[in-house]
Amino acid sequence: MHTTRSNASGAPRRPITRLARLTSLLPLVVLAACAGAPQPPTASAPAATATATRYNISRFPIEHYDQDVDHWIRPDAPGYDRPLLSTQEQTRRFEAFRARYFGTAPRDPSPWNGTWLATSLLNAAGVQQIADSQGRHVRSFDNGVPGVRKTYGENFHAHTSSWIRAIEANMALAQLDADPAGGQYDPRRRGITVDNALVRQLPTQDPAFYDFHRAGEGYPFDALQDSALRPGTPVYTLARSVDGAWLLVYSPDLIGWVDARTVAAVDAHFVATWRDAAQRSLGAIVRADVPLADTPPGTAAPIYRTFAPIGTVLPMMLRDGHPAAMFPVADLRRQAHIRTTALDTSTLVPMPWTLTPRHMAQVIKELIGRPYGWGNTLFYNDCSAETRSLFAPFGVWLPRHSSDQLRAGVRTDLRAADIDTRLRTLAERGRPLMTLIHINGHIMLYLGNAQHDGESVPMTYQNVWGLSPADNSRRNVIGGSVILPLLKTYPEDPEARSLAGKSLFEISVIGGETSANGDAARLPSTDTPDEMPQ
């Protein structure tokens, strides 16, 4: 059962010591955490024995850094209510966003669009790609295959061959080649999520951790956990596990396995009603973990169904003069039905919400301070889920994985530049609140520059696990969404590598360009990038 969590940003915050000397010059950017399988530490890290104890985790004192959003995105700034995207550009992006979920044109990659599915995903090449991807996933978690990194369960025991063989048998991958529908689009396979759904790389709740002795491995980095779908997300079922407990689904964002209980089937009437409502007015949730409840006929009190995280998109309408959201529920036959719930204007906003510093700050205030959730573990965000949640209310769709999110804007590759050139280029070319920074396995939002000890320092918003030294032997854990400067060194841990000093450093400026985000028909990744969490 899901419970509603209180918003961590509700706790009082005061400016504190470390950034007392930092004077904000520009609004800051948001960093998002990333999903993908963690990598092993570098060869210089000492190997751990089976019985060794490694004290490789400590806590980074984030309280040394001012977490007051209003200090960095200032309400008294002249441009606080000035749009950061032109009306034309925001409308273009929103239409591409809505087409990805509910579109009907030949190039609209909606899970309910039979024309696009038949030609782009369910043809022979598409089905073979999906089958090959699933086979690679099985092999990558088979401890008996030479060269495969060993994975362990929650009891610290290595997974056995019988464990992966049982999962493989339950997948029945032959069904992808011998589909009863002959590889053709089948409208009966359309569905919608009626709950928050964790997306898994294989159909199992069992975790797969790498060497728990090493920093950046073990909890929370379950390599099988990929992402999460929010309530009201259209899906198309590609395969069903033998036991019926899991569905391999195509969603607007990615392909993966979800618990069958989180999905309900939709018929033509449901699809038409939902699409029409979404075309008239689509709304976004901008508060944390909003309860979705309705009062069926004959009941006196509302029935809680699930919660809607920030960035959930649902058709909205006015009911008795107040905003209300449509959301789906399942009956005993697992058929979807539409319910409505009344929400206030601080919770549900019509899309696309005007992209201003005020509105960005409002969303960040709801997200900041919340725990880090690798691949949406426990339905919290990681780095790239954070940026997706932040930009969704404004109708700006971002891909699931950090390495793909740079497609949203004009990209500059700075991997060959030294750290001073990187930071200078970021200040010169970056737009506060509209620039993503991508490093190895991590993405963040640039907020602007501030003065620190006579130097101009980039400020970021990001959901980050922690900082590490060059040998990757330990983690100084932050473990949540925070505001953090990109310093060359951090006084709290001088050995920790600067996030700006990693081997990969790229920036992407959203807005003003005409080519970015134009490939609406691009398929979601069938394989998770191999990214090391920060």
Q: Are residues 286 and 361 in the same domain?
A: no
Cα 128–Cα 258–Cα 341 angle in degrees, nearest 5: 130
The residues, ordered by sequence, that sit 6+ positions from 72 with a Cβ below 8 Å of its Cβ are 24, 27, 28, 66, 447, 448, 450, 459, 483
Tens-place pLDDT, residues 219-237: 999 999 999 999 999 999 9
What is the number of structural domains in the chain? Answer: 2
Among 55-59, 109-113, 230-234, 398-402, whose mean pLDDT is lowest?
55-59
362 and 338 in a common domain: no
374: domain CATH number is: 3.90.1720.10
Please choose, from the candidates 15, 16, 23, 71, the residue with its C-alpha nearest in 3D space to the C-alpha of residue 453: 23
Q: What does residue 247 show for φ and ψ, rounded to 5 degrees?
A: -125, 135
Cα Rg for the chain, rounded, in angstroms?
A: 23
What is the average pLDDT across 391-398? Answer: 98
Indicate if 80 and 143 belong to the same structural domain. Answer: no
How confident is the model at residue 296, as a pLDDT? Answer: 86
Cα–Cα distance, 138 to 142 (Å, whole number):
6
Residue 43: which residues within 8 A CB-CB, separation 6 or more?
Answer: none
Residue 195 included in any domain: yes
Q: What is the pLDDT of residue 512?
A: 56
Question: How long, in residues, is the chain?
Answer: 534
Domain shared by 338 and 377, yes or no: no
- Which residues fall within 8 angstroms of residue 29, CB to CB, at 6 or more apart? 430, 432, 433, 434, 435, 436, 437, 444, 445, 446, 447, 448, 458, 459, 460, 461
Residue 475 covered by a domain = yes
Which residue, 334, 351, 368, sits at the end of a domain?
A: 351
Are 261 and 401 in a shared domain? no
Q: Residue 99 domain-assigned?
A: yes
In this structure, are 431 and 464 located in the same domain? yes
Residues 6+ apart with CB under 8 A from 428: none
Written in H, E and C, the secondary structure of 460-524 is EEEEEEEECECCCCCEEEEEEEEEEECCCCECCECCECCHHHCCCEEEEECCCCCCCCCCCCCCC
Cis peptide before 296 (omega within 30 of 0): no
- The mean per-residue pLDDT over the stretch 398-410 comes to 93
Does residue 457 belong to any structural domain of this protein?
yes
Same domain (yes/no): 366, 380? yes
Expressed as residue numbers, the domain containing 504 is 61-85+355-510
Non-local CB neighbours of 136 within 8 Å, separated by 6+ positions? 527
Q: Tokens 């696990």 — which residue?
A: 465
| Domain shared by 131 and 72, yes or no | no
Nearest of 14, 13, 29 to residue 72 by alpha carbon? 29
Per-residue pLDDT reduced to its tens digit, 300-343: 899 999 999 999 999 999 888 889 999 999 999 999 999 999 99
Quick one: pLDDT at residue 179? 53
Looking at the structure, tell me whether residues 329 and 249 fall in a common domain: yes
Residue 517 forms beta bridges with which residues? none
286 plus 415 within the same structural domain = no
**pTM higher than 0.85:** yes
Q: Is residue 6 domain-resident?
A: no
* Same-domain pairing of 330 and 398: no
Position 33 in a domain: no
Which residues make Cβ contacts (< 8 Å) with residue 107, sequence separation at least 6?
116, 520, 521
> Does 156 fall in a domain?
yes
Q: Which residue bears the tokens 């990038």? A: 529
Residue at 375 is within a domain: yes
pLDDT in tens, 72-129: 999 999 999 999 999 999 999 999 999 999 999 999 999 999 999 999 999 989 999 9
Are residues 387 and 274 part of one domain? no
